[in-house]
């Protein structure tokens, strides 16, 4: 007699728009059972209906909100994968320096990941599972207009590098996604041309294709990623010369 098929389970936080919504749609087509979170129920519930997922509204910038949501998710299911897709972005010219913007983007791009790990580790240690943090290729180096966004993204990447070996010893695979530009309400704010801009469905496919691999980083598109990684290796004098010539004067 054949055994009934048990669907794989995942929790996506930041699932109502952009890459998170495309991930929900892609995973549901593959038969995954989903928990879907975001702040606004109005945009989350239609995604839950379309994907057969369960909507669970939360605010990831509030530690208690994530802790309560994790209690609900793990009391009712056994997700093997949690994807953190929350983020916020606002370009800021240096002469319009805005400490409040730094605080806001630090909460949504860095502290949200800290709060998520705090809520998840007690549930996953021993039992195992994968946590995927959507970081950004912007974490690789500071670029003009991007400081309030790229600084917390760099912090998230650094945190994940530091935690991965120890979490791996207790069965938790902590990984990062470092996309280049992916069309969304965030990139719509950019006043410049974005090289190799991808549609969210394409980005989601790249991510889903690598869910069962074990590497630390899922990064794309390759051409942009390698250019940025090369920039990261350059001495500062050369790096700032390139930024001045190729970014500021364009
Ligand atoms: N787009 C890009 O080019 C790009 C590139 C590299 C990395 N990333 C990163 O990828 C992730 C997704 O980006 P995206 O462009 O797809 O963003 P998006 O379209 O704005 O979607 C973000 C999702 O997160 C939810 N969200 C935002 N703040 C939240 C909060 N405090 N609590 C709970 N949910 C929250 C949003 O719904 P609500 O507003 O209803 O809460 C939405 O579902 C972000 O971490 C972003 O930094 C994006």
| pLDDT tens digits along 179-229 | 999 999 999 998 888 889 999 999 999 999 999 999 999 999 999 999 999
* Burial bucket for residue 117 (CB in 10 Å: 0-12, 13-18, 19+): buried
**3-state SS class at 14:** coil
Q: What's the rounded mean pLDDT across residues 132-156?
A: 96
The CA–CA distances, whole Å, from 230 to 156, 212, 233 equal 20, 27, 5
- Report whether residue 14 contacts ligand 1, using a CB cutoff of 6 Å: yes
Taking the alpha carbons of 18, 108, 233, 195 in that order, is the dihedral positive or negative? positive
pLDDT score recorded for residue 46: 98
- Report whether residue 84 contacts ligand 1, using a CB cutoff of 6 Å: no
Distance 62 CA to ligand 1 centre (A): 16
129: left (phi over 0), alpha (psi -120 to 50) or beta: left
pLDDT score recorded for residue 247: 81
Q: Name the residue with the closest Cα to ligand 1, atom 24.
A: 14
- Report whether residue 187 contacts ligand 1, using a CB cutoff of 6 Å: yes
For the CA of 182, the nearest atom of ligand 1: 3
Pairing of strands 172-179, 54-55: unpaired
Residue 13 token pair: 């936080």
Distance 87 CA to ligand 1 centre (A): 4
pLDDT-wise least confident of 30-39, 88-97, 114-123, 238-247: 238-247
Q: What's the rounded mean pLDDT across residues 98-110?
A: 98
Per-position DSSP letters for 114-160, written without gaps between them: HHHHHHHHHHHTTT-EEEEEE--GGGSS--TT-HHHHHHHHHHHHHH
pLDDT of 116-143, one tens digit each? 999 999 999 989 999 999 999 999 999 9
- Report whether residue 156 contacts ligand 1, using a CB cutoff of 6 Å: no
**The model's pTM:** 0.96
Q: Which among 16, 51, 87, 217 is the best mutation to test ligand 1's pocket, defined by most ligand atoms within 8 Å of the CB?
A: 87
Q: Which among 14, 68, 113 is the best mutation to test ligand 1's pocket, defined by most ligand atoms within 8 Å of the CB?
A: 14
State the DSSP code for 84.
Answer: E
Distance 182 CA to ligand 1 centre (A): 11
Strand order in the sheet with 217-220: 54-55, 33-37, 9-13, 81-84, 129-134, 172-179, 217-220
- Report whether residue 26 contacts ligand 1, using a CB cutoff of 6 Å: no
For the CA of 40, the nearest atom of ligand 1: 40
Residue 25 token pair: 């749609």
CATH topology classification for 9-248? Rossmann fold (3.40.50)
State the DSSP H helix or E strand holding residue 175, giving kind and residue range, or none if neither: strand 172-179
- Report whether residue 136 contacts ligand 1, using a CB cutoff of 6 Å: yes
For the CA of 21, the nearest atom of ligand 1: 43
- Report whether residue 59 contacts ligand 1, using a CB cutoff of 6 Å: yes
């Amino acid at each position: 007699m054949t055994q009934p098929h048990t669907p794989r389970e995942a929790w996506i936080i930041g699932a109502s728009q952009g890459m998170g919504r495309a991930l929900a749609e892609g995973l549901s087509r593959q038969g995954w059972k989903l928990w879907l979170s975001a702040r606004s129920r109005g945009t989350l519930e239609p995604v839950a209906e379309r994907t057969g997922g369960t909507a669970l509204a939360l605010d990831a910038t509030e530690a208690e909100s994530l802790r309560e949501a994790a209690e609900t998710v793990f009391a009712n299911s056994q997700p093997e994968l949690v994807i953190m897709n929350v983020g916020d972005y606002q370009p800021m010219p240096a002469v319009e320096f805005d400490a409040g913007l730094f605080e806001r983007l630090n909460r949504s791009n860095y502290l949200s990941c800290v709060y998520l790990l705090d809520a998840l580790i007690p549930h996953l240690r021993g039992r195992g599972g994968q946590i995927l943090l959507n970081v950004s290729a912007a974490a690789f180096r500071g670029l003009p207009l991007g400081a309030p966004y790229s600084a917390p993204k760099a912090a998230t990447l650094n945190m994940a590098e530091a935690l991965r070996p120890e979490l791996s010893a207790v069965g938790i695979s902590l990984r990062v996604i470092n996309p280049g530009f992916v069309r969304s309400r965030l990139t719509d704010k950019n006043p410049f041309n974005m090289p190799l801009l991808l549609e969210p469905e394409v980005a989601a496919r790249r991510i889903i294709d690598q869910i069962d691999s074990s590497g630390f980083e899922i990064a794309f598109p390759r051409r942009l990623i390698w250019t940025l990684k090369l920039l990261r290796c350059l001495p500062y004098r050369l790096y700032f010369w390139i930024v001045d010539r190729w970014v500021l004067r364009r």
